[in-house]
Structure 1
Amino acid sequence: MKEFKQIAEWMSRNPDVGHDSPIVSSLPSPNFEMDGKPYTSFSTNNYLALATSRRLVAAAQRGLDKYGVANCESRLLGGDLDVYREVEFKLAHLKKKSGSILYATGYLTNLGALSSLVRSPLICRAYGFRPTSRMTYAFFTDEYNHISIREGIRLSGADRFTYRHADLNHLEMLLRENDAHSKIIVSDGVFSQDGDIAALPDLLNLAEKYDAMVYIDDAHGTGVLGPNGGGISEHFQCYHERLIHMGTLSKAYGAIGGFVAADEWICEILRLTSPAYGFTSTLPPDQAFAVSEAIDMVTDEPERRLSLWENQRMFVNQMLSQDFEIVSTQTPIVPVIIGDDCASDEFARQLRGFGFYVDSVKFPAVAKGKARLRIILNAHHTREQIQALAHAMVVVREINRVPSAQLAVV
């Protein structure tokens, strides 16, 4: 107990260390209310504004009417509703795979899938499986991968090798020098703090060369990237038997949950060996109804995605014309570099005075000296809102004398 009390006392003396989350009275679509005041959010992951759409709410209501508030069972023990199989079928079709498996959240998906894949031979021994030889495993992970990936790999107990962000030469060197029987390259599809897209075709080329698999976390790409919202594979028109897709249902799809889409035999192994799937309740039925509807909406209402990308291009052009330093122009995540942690927090605070809610992202989420405003565009932002935000950012920059800079990375 003593060390926990010491940490608590230290945190009380250093209030900037903690997280003072604002209490909101409505959810951003992208407009919302906080502390009795209206704001426009440029931080929500509700990319297509589906979460509050009438069609999605109606779908969730059908789930509530049919099944009630929650599924209190494991899917292995009487809780495997037909709607879950329907969603899994749609997700497998979306990713052009023969199977998929649902988890309760995206974070839990990475913890459950990554920790279980390499332990499956050991777990299957309890059922009578006897491998013909002892296998060794190694993960190769981008240094900017989401913490859920890092935690899932840590829980696996397998060897882990971290390559410099998007550095394919470094990754190849690590693959070439490693003699593990089974190698798994793991990468975000869209990196959440930088907004850049992983070079999936190149990752798959390396996987082919070094007999590896590629596990891609397409949380920010599913529903957003590609002509039909199919994600990073559709974006690159790149499909491969070595590819395992992971995705979340709480961003573009506006609901909750996560999934893995892969060859059916991989999904069946996860159903058998992943405690995060079998030893917990899954997503509530109303959310499964909502996800099933959301997958259809992304196809049926392409104007949402078109509007999102029009807004992204407009904001990027506004930032470039005003000489802001932005990290990437590839996705609706457009990080604007401020530099100092305190300056970034103050910039975000002053933007709230103009009615805009923007996330200030700082260490340890990003490197020291690289604090940023992470601007996330939304399908329902108006031209007037985007122009007003750009104007407010210029005003706040002048007030605080934040230096202008050129585009860092495209």
Structure 2
Amino acid sequence: MSDVFNKVNLLSADMKTATSGGPRPLYRVLDSRNGEALLEGRRVVMAACNDYLGLSGDPRVTQAAAQAALRFGTSCSASRLVGGTMPLHEDLEGRLAAFLGVEAAMVTTTGFQANLALAPLFGPGDVVFSDRANHASLVDAVQLGAAEKRFYRHSDMARLERQLSAADPAAGKVIVTDGVFSMEGDVCRLPDLHALAVAHHARLIVDGAHDIGLLGAGGRGVSEHFALPGAVDLYTGTFSKCFGSVGGVVAGSAEVIHFLRHTSRAMLFTAAMPPSAVAAALAALDIIETEPERRVRVFEVARQVNEGLRALGFDTGESTTPIIPVRMGQTEPALRLWQAVLDEGVFTSGVGFPAVPEGQALIRLSLQAVHTDAHVARILDAFAAAGRRLGYTCAPSPAPVGSQRADADPILAAAR
């Protein structure tokens, strides 16, 4: 007789390697703040946190969260639909809609749920075209929908064009993509995606988890970065990166948001975003709108680290953002390098399957505006020492070029 629990022995080879007795990058307990972390009594540089603007520890954000908890309690204890909506939720939705230049926004409890909330849009007779490097939550949303699925090679616009051309002209078509890809740190090819969407009468949905708050002179994400207002039909996003909080958002036309409010199971059947998290996101939005120097700083940190790693011979791919991969290929050498870098006092993310395809393991650095020049030096010194100790030599990756460059934003270029 079969036992459903027998699957516990079916972990992938990469996951078995990462969870065995050797280097263990997963589920480590850390106390992290201001670019550093306390790990098992030892203080290390924290280079695995997506708090790009350093707002989760900003006193204005933490005080707003604390005051909201004292006033409204720790939980709404109900779904948004039936009693969990507070004035704070509507304040944040209105602010975000205005910030992104759209008609309406819908706040969800997590960023993952913001993407799952898209599923009702993907119905029978529709076709969804999804970049293979999209975040797992966007992949799950596509799988949950009833539409036909088409996955194209990462940022392969020629492949996407062929797929769009081969689709039934009468079908409803939608392209879904990350704005900034969470593992490789490269930016979506929005001008090309927009042109293809227009040519093939498709809608364009962008997950702005890693670019809203970060890219563009005002932090409004990829559409502002590429100076293409109106190119994106629907945004999703999260508050767990640039907003120093937790929660998610879907933003676009009032008609679409109204539809999703009443059809998305990820919205209907979950407790509302806690008041403290909403207040924190509102305070963070104030800072995002008024302190562009934070974006300038994090891109300067990213430039120094990326150039330094390339000079050391590490392959950092096409990254132009504060997400920097050190591409290793196989899981075992990646984990050895991860441990050696940690031994030198820098905590990074060791990433293997299923977060990346098998055979494409990497170490991911997530950099922050609160990282100092001393932190940058410690990161580069750690990789230099770890590489020497392990005898790793990697072919340097070419400098990213073209319209994807995130540091092409005028406000960021002015900081050079």
Contact 2:344 2:385 survives alignment (8 Å): no
Q: Is 2:146 the counterpart of 1:141?
A: no
Q: Give the structure 2 partner of residue 165 of structure 1.
A: 154
3-state secondary structure, aligned to 1:77: helix
- Conserved 8 A contact 2:179-2:209: yes
Structure-1 residue corresponding to 2:412:
none
Q: Are 1:137 and 1:182, in contact at CA under 8 Å, matched by a contact in 2?
A: yes
Identify which of 353, 359, 368 aligns with 2:343.
353
Whether the aligned pair in 1 keeps the contact of 2:17 and 2:331 (CA below 8 Å) is: no
Matching residue of 2:221: 231
Shift of 1:241: 6.4
Is contact 2:12-2:353 (8 Å) kept? no
| Aligned position for 1:50 | 55
**Residues 354, 392 of structure 1: 8 Å contact kept:** yes
Q: Report deviation, 1:18.
A: 4.0
Partner SS, residue 291 of structure 1: helix
Describe the superposition over 1:212-234 as per-residue Cα deviations: whole angstroms up to 9, x where unpaired.
10010110001111111111111
Q: 1:334 aligns with which of 314, 318, 324?
A: 324
Aligned residue for 1:368?
358
State the match for 2:121 in structure 1.
Answer: 117
Q: Is 1:308 aligned with 2:298?
A: yes
Q: What residue ranges of structure 1 are gaps of 5+ in the alignment?
A: 120-134
CA distance in 2, matches of 1:401, 1:364: 27
Aligned to 1:156: 145
Please say if 1:8 is aligned against 2:12: no
User: Which residue does the alignment assign to 1:320?
Assistant: 310
What are the residue-to-residue correspondences of 1:76-91 with 2, within 5 Å? 76-91=81-96
| Offset of residue 11 of structure 1 | 5.7
> Residue 364 of structure 2: SS of its match in structure 1?
strand
Q: Partners in 1 of 2:358 and 2:75 — Cα distance?
A: 43
The Cα of 1:84 is off from its aligned counterpart by 0.6
SS in 1 for 2:382: helix
SS in 1 for 2:7: helix
- Within the candidate set 55, 64, 67, 2:69 is matched to 64
Q: 1:309 to 1:9 in 2, by over 3 A?
A: closer
1:177-326 matches, cutoff 5 A: 177-179=166-168, 180-240=170-230, 243-326=233-316
* Identity value in percent: 30
* TM-score (normalizing by structure 2): 0.90
Counterpart in 2 of 1:128? none
Quick check: 1:175 aligned with 2:180? no
Shift of 1:322: 2.1
SS in 2 for 1:16: helix
Q: Please list the CA deviations of residues 65-85 of structure 1 after superposition, one character each: whole Å capped at 9, or x if unmatched.
A: 210010012222122111111
The two structures, once aligned, show a CA RMSD in angstroms of: 2.0
Q: Any conservation in 1 of the 2:52–2:369 contact (CA below 8 Å)?
A: yes
Question: 8 Å contact 1:327–1:336 — kept in the other structure?
Answer: yes
**Quick check: 1:101–1:260 contact (8 Å CA) kept in 2?**
yes
Q: For 1:51 and 1:143, how far apart are their aligned partners in 2?
A: 31
Question: What SS does structure 2 have at the residue aligned with 1:202?
Answer: helix
Cα separation, 2, equivalents of 1:203 and 1:332:
23
User: Which range is displaced more, 252-261 or 4-13?
Assistant: 4-13
Say which SS state the counterpart of residue 133 (structure 2) adopts: coil
Deviations 1:165-224 (A, max 9, x none): 111111111111111521000001111111110011211111111111001011000111
Alignment partners' CA distance in 2, 1:17 and 1:333: 21
TM-score (norm 1): 0.91
**Aligned equivalents of 1:22, 1:343: Cα separation in 2:** 20
After superposition, what is the alpha-carbon deviation per residue over 1:284-316, rounded to whole angstroms, capped at 9, x for unaligned? 011111111110111222222221111111112
Matched, 1:37 2:42: yes
Cα distance change, pair 242–60 in 1 and its aligned pair in 2 (3 A): closer
1:332 offset after TM fit, Å?
Answer: 0.6
SS of alignment partner, residue 78 of structure 1: helix
Q: Does 1:100 align with 2:90?
A: no
Deviations 1:336-379 (A, max 9, x none): 12232111111111111111101111233223333211111111
Contact 2:180–2:186, Cα closer than 8 Å, also in 1: yes
Q: Which moved more, 1:272-281 or 1:142-151?
A: 272-281
- Consecutive unaligned residues of structure 2, counting only runs of 5 or more, are 401-416
* CA positional deviation for 1:328: 2.0
Contact 2:35 2:371 in 1 (8 A): yes
SS of the aligned residue for 1:273 comes to coil
- Residue 395, structure 1, aligned to residue 385, structure 2: yes
Distance 1:347 1:200, change over 3 A: same
